[in-house]
Amino acid sequence: MILITGGAGYIGSHFALKMLETGEDIVIFDSLELGHSEIIEILKKYGNVKFIQGNLKNLEDIRGVFLMNKIDSVVHFAAYSQVAESVKNPQKYYYNNVYATLNLLNAMLEFGVNKIVFSSTSAIYGEPEYIPIDEKHSQNPINAYGNSKLMVERILDDYDKAYGLKSVRLRYFNVAGADLKSRIGEWHEPETHLIPNILKSSGEKTFKMFGDDYDTKDGTCVRDYINILDLVDAHVKALEYLNNGGDTNYFNLGTSEGNTVKEVFNSCEEVTGREIPIEICPRRAGDPAKLVADNKKAWQILGWKPEKSLKDSIQSASDWEIYRASNL
**For the stretch 240-253, what's the b/e string if a residue is b when 16 or more beta carbons lie within 10 angstroms of its beta carbon?**
ebbeeebebbbbbb
The yes-or-no answer on residue 250 being catalytic is: no
DSSP state of 34: S
The reply to whether omega before 141 is within 30° of 0 (cis) is no
Angle at 108 between CA 157 and CA 3, to 5 degrees: 105
In DSSP terms, 158 is beta-bridged to: none
- DSSP per residue, 130-160: SSSB-TTS----SSHHHHHHHHHHHHHHHHH
CA-nearest of 146, 27, 163, 129 to 85 is 146
Catalytic residue among 93, 94, 145, 214: 145
Q: What does the alpha-carbon distance between residue 108 and residue 72 come to, in Å, rounded to a whole number? A: 10
- SS3 at position 123: helix
**Contacts (Cβ under 8 Å, ≥6 apart) of 304:** 233, 234, 237, 251, 295, 298
10 Å CB burial of residue 52 (0-12, 13-18, 19+) is middle
Residues that are catalytic = 145
